Structure 1
């Protein structure tokens, strides 16, 4: 039988290899470490965790990542099995002994009769055969160049800073209002494409003071400190002058406060829809290198965001990822070269579990194709399906940035408007629906 070749033995590549082999398909798993290292990795083990040792919340009733854990366990995931076996006490989170965990994953892959691990760097992308690229944010320079060659010069982006994303239902619309600058747009929806949060002069000055004083993340050794113009952190802009932000992303021109039309805001923070469902909004131009604790304090100073809940906080790091909504089909194949699938963080998901989940799907989809079939993605009412939907079309390609799984990616419940509005009711309903639909997806294979 034709093998599937997988580039990268991180969490996504390891899970993809396990799933394909479990389906009876031979696997060639290519890993450049330890012969070719990175500044972050310390070993040549598969599934080495280079940052935290936590897979975050294991609550599969009230938490979207916990639901993702449940789905991966239900699908026979290797990563979750080894995490469960080597978990550490961590309250409601799933944390692991990272060295033992990686060694256990490596041993399981080595012991599987259908998996061959091949050492060495892959620097070209073949135009034949079935390949899964699961190289993560630290893709080697040579392979990154090869990916650019098949996707386009600007398709593989390296970003230093990303902006936070807010759950739409936590924005105070008694303070904020919907309006595009100068009411631009041919339709009413386009004319109300942004949510605007006004500031008077005192609020603006206090915000700038807090922004400049906040704790910030610095580059780690081995990372470069250059910024891309389109992703300049707001702290860097503020350091150039107190009025810089008011003449940049916070300019108040072309906007009228719907609640107080007679008052001219001194500055305005704009939020733009980040997904097709309208459940998530990103803070426009607010790329940041503030530490997470500081971000919640500073951003909640913005009128309208006093009680904001964040689907993702901003951050700063080297990150290589595809503009997946413009490049991948819903089977995670490159539209221009369908023999190439992508999985893991390189697709624009953020987090260990999300990366492994995309590997799980890529491995199953590749195996189904090799065996003469087609495997559709899970319904996007499930955690995995919501992620795949987001990266392959649900997100706006023009503003696409890496994303963790969260309930803002799930389609609303049918009876949400009938009274099920509180999180205590809404979240269990999301996860129960996801479990039912994921079981049906598995049963159909």
Structure 2
């Protein structure tokens, strides 16, 4: 039987390899790490998480990303299975212990009898065979140039920033407190998965001043700061208005400070980052500040005056292709149909979305090798809404990375009058689950 070759062992590549192998197709997974490193990765493990340890909301009844979780579980995806095994308390979110998670994915893939993992960089577009390019936002320069040469157009680019991680023991708990926003979470442990650092107005204003004045990473000649709005550096948010952070990652609503009776003007949240509870990442605090500036600015946060950092934030260049122009609805490169693209390089944003597109590309490629044609999932599903968006639903001229959201779904018919938002979202997910199960059924 013909082998499926996959370039890139991130979320999308790992999920694609698993999906194809589970359907009986032999897979060769090509991963350049650790022989060729990247700015963001620390190990050579597959499915390594770098920007966050969270897969976001797990609510599959009223949240689009939670629905995507449900669909991936229904399709037997490896990412959701391993995420559940290495889940951390995080209220209504699905957060994982990132190192054991990636180690478990790596072990499962390497031990699969139909999957071979080959180390080394692929620098050219393959002329024959069935291939999936799932190299993600940090595609190597040589392969990016080969893609550009084939498509005849510049790959689009934006910049992504990583949030810092703090050692829990260095947080002053006489100032900070444990609480999930609105006390979400089924257990007491889940409700305390977050640490909260309060600010009064004067402290907030001083913090904003320091953010705006701090030394930032400079761009190279020819680069532009085309940020993805879902992952803006905090300095960029602050530049948009002094109150932007207070209505974003630093919003004080749903939290009660047990140390002081007055309501905080702003709150910095830290989310548990590992099972031991020794590491916490600063939620929403992606940054392009230089390391020295980060240390001094972040120690202005009440409770973090003596903070010790396991990792400081950083910024890196992400690339993605103009998928509406270049890909067909089977995720194949129109000019070279033996090559599919999957993951963040296609213009979806987020770990979950990336993995979901990998799962779909793996199934589609396996079906083709097995002599079958697999149509995309219905657009009423979360997976279908994403592939519809990237392969034809978006405007090519203004195409930008997109998280899954109900705005990508066909509208719900509001029979019987106007629905409330919660009821409307539940209607979206009910419809999607039925449609996704019908799509899965013929595949066995």
Q: CA RMSD in A?
A: 3.2
Change in CA separation of 1:216 and 1:380 when aligned onto 2, cut-off 3 Å: farther
Match of 1:334 in 2: 333
Bigger shift: 224-233 or 112-121? Answer: 224-233
1:359-400 Cα deviation digits (max 9, x unpaired): 000000000000001100100110000000000010110000
Q: Alignment partner of 2:95: what SS?
A: strand
Is contact 2:5-2:27 (8 Å) kept? yes
**Does the Cα contact within 8 Å between 2:160 and 2:318 map onto a contact in 1?**
no
SS at match of 2:153: coil
2:137 alignment counterpart: 137
- Residue 53 of structure 1 aligns with which residue? 53
Q: Displacement, 1:127?
A: 1.5
Check conservation: 1:219, 1:225, Cα contact below 8 A: no
Measure how far apart 1:159 and its partner are.
2.4
Q: Does residue 20 of structure 2 align to residue 20 of structure 1?
A: yes
Per-residue CA deviations over 1:319-354 (Å, capped at 9, x if unaligned) read 100000010001000001000000000000000000
Equivalent residue for 2:113?
113
Q: Distance in 1 between matches of 2:46 and 2:35?
A: 14
Quote how far apart the aligned CAs of 1:318 are: 1.5
1: CA distance, partners of 2:99 / 2:232: 32
C-alpha distance in 2 between matches for 1:33 and 1:323: 26
Alpha carbons 1:53, 1:95 under 8 Å: kept: yes
Distance 1:336 1:374 in 2: 19
- In structure 2, what is the Cα distance between the partners aligned to 1:394 and 1:38? 32
Rounded to whole Å, the distance in 1 between the matches of 2:104 and 2:380 is: 32
Q: Partner residue of 1:98?
A: 98
* Structure 1 Cα separation of the partners of residues 80 and 394 of structure 2: 27
Determine the C-alpha separation between the residues in 2 that align with 1:26 and 1:158: 33
CA distance in 1, matches of 2:346, 2:27: 21
How many aligned residue pairs are there?
Answer: 334
Separation (CA, whole Å) in 2 of partners of 1:59 and 1:219: 39
Indicate the residue corresponding to 1:262 in structure 2: none
Q: 1:161: Cα distance to partner? A: 8.1
Displacement after TM superposition at 1:106 (Å): 0.4
Query: Which structure 2 residue ranges, 5 or more long, are not aligned?
Result: 162-204, 248-283, 288-314
Asked whether the 8 Å contact 1:219–1:317 carries over to 2, the reply is no
Match of 1:423 among 421, 424, 441: 421
Other-structure match for 1:225: 219
CA contact (8 A) 1:377 1:388 kept: yes
Distance in 1 separating the partners of 2:210 and 2:137: 27
Tell me: CA distance 1:288–1:112, structure 2 relative to 1, closer, same or farther (3 Å): closer
Give the Cα–Cα distance (whole angstroms) in 2 for the partners of residues 214 and 412 of structure 1: 44
Which of the numbers 424, 432, 435 marks the counterpart of 2:433? Answer: 435
**Partners of 2:136 and 2:367 in 1: CA distance:** 24
1:138 and 1:218, CA in 2 relative to 1: closer, same or farther beyond 3 A?
farther
| Equivalence for 1:246 | none
Q: 1: CA distance between counterparts of 2:21 and 2:213?
A: 41
User: How far apart are the structure 1 equivalents of 2:213 and 2:339?
Assistant: 36
For residues 108 and 423 of structure 1, do their structure 2 counterparts lie closer, same or farther at Cα, with a shift above 3 Å needed?
Answer: same
> Could you tell me how far 1:158 is from its partner in structure 2?
2.1
Determine the structure 2 residue equivalent to 1:372: 371
* Stretches of structure 1 lacking an aligned partner (at least 5 in a row): 163-208, 234-281, 302-311
* Equivalent-residue separation in structure 1 for 2:213 and 2:144 (angstroms): 26
In 2, are the aligned partners of 1:6 and 1:30 still within 8 Å (CA)?
yes
Q: CA deviation at 1:151?
A: 1.3
CA offset digits 1:164-206 (Å, max 9, x no partner): xxxxxxxxxxxxxxxxxxxxxxxxxxxxxxxxxxxxxxxxxxx
TM-score norm. by structure 2 comes to: 0.69
Answer yes or no: is the 8 Å Cα contact 2:237–2:245 preserved in 1: no
Pairwise CA distance, 1:225: 1.6
Would you say 1:66 and 2:60 are equivalent positions?
no
Does the aligned pair in 2 maintain the 1:325–1:396 contact within 8 Å? yes
Distance change in 2, residues 1:288/1:49 (3 Å): closer
* CA distance in 2: counterparts of 1:4 and 1:218, whole angstroms: 48
Contact 2:73 2:81 in 1 (8 A): yes
**Match in the other structure for 1:250:** none
The 1:228/1:398 distance shift into structure 2, 3 A limit, reads farther
